[in-house]
Structure 1
């Protein structure tokens, strides 16, 4: 586990874009470009927000986790939304648990106070369970807020206090 580096972004993009093309766990419908990832990387770095990667002994990026601002208004500055994505070959091995634990630790160290998880209400049971295991509580649901693969999707909102 280490901080993400600019040279990791092609692998991170590949992991994320797999889910864009094949899953409803992200509501993005268009692949994210390397330029967009660079912009996000520098923006999160400027804000001092954790962005970490899990790396194999051979140096392959297995997955990543990050937090980003929940909203842009300044009053929300201590509240973030988390994202965790694993390479397809790295799922089901406990790596998401390791990434989330480290992300929470680093978010506390960064002075953040609240983490929000926005999880698809279909096909993301493992993510909901993982967040519950770390003390996230369901705070609400939104129905039919996303449209992907010719169907309507909702979200489950979960929150954890870092105090």
Structure 2
């Protein structure tokens, strides 16, 4: 189950590092200021993004896609803790952000494919995505990769002067048996 995605020509992918933080911050802050892909309402500092990156590990990585020729970050994706409660340690939340100048080129699909594979290899059992209403492209992308809609949280966010619903999607990537 799921879809295949290849990295378009002219781009490279790797685990994120210190040198990628400004590009990650730039893309994320654009989303903070212009859309509802994130419910953050204030731009993030470089120091904040550094702490955020440090909170990720092998089971919950951050990947970046760069333009090969100039090394500029064009997109990034991460797996993050779903909750600090230990019983949720094998569940991760998916985040994908693509610079508007690089959208509709397959970067989001490539990142989602890479995150799913990384989750399987890292012992993650369940992936969760929260998608704000009005983001049909993100819903379609997740469904293409086998995520299923499990519910809608009504009016749980407020941004740009309006209440926003959030769809919850999940994808089981691990075995049913604990420890398998």
TM-score when scaled to structure 1? 0.96
Q: Does residue 65 of structure 2 align to residue 57 of structure 1?
A: no
Aligned to 1:37: 49
**Do the aligned partners of 2:59 and 2:124 also contact (CA within 8 Å) in 1?**
no
Aligned to 1:159: 170
**1:60 positional shift:** 1.4
Aligned to 2:6: none
Q: Does residue 165 of structure 2 align to residue 132 of structure 1?
A: no
**1:107 positional shift:** 1.2
Bigger radius of gyration: 2
Gaps of 5+ in 1: none
**1:48 positional shift:** 3.9
**1:70 positional shift:** 0.5
Aligned to 2:7: none
Aligned partners of 2:136, 2:41: CA distance in 1, in Å? 21
Between Structure 1 and Structure 2, the one with more helix by share is 1
Aligned to 1:142: 153
Alignment of 1:1-163 (within 5 A): 1-45=13-57, 48-58=59-69, 59-122=71-134, 124-163=135-174
**1:57 positional shift:** 1.2
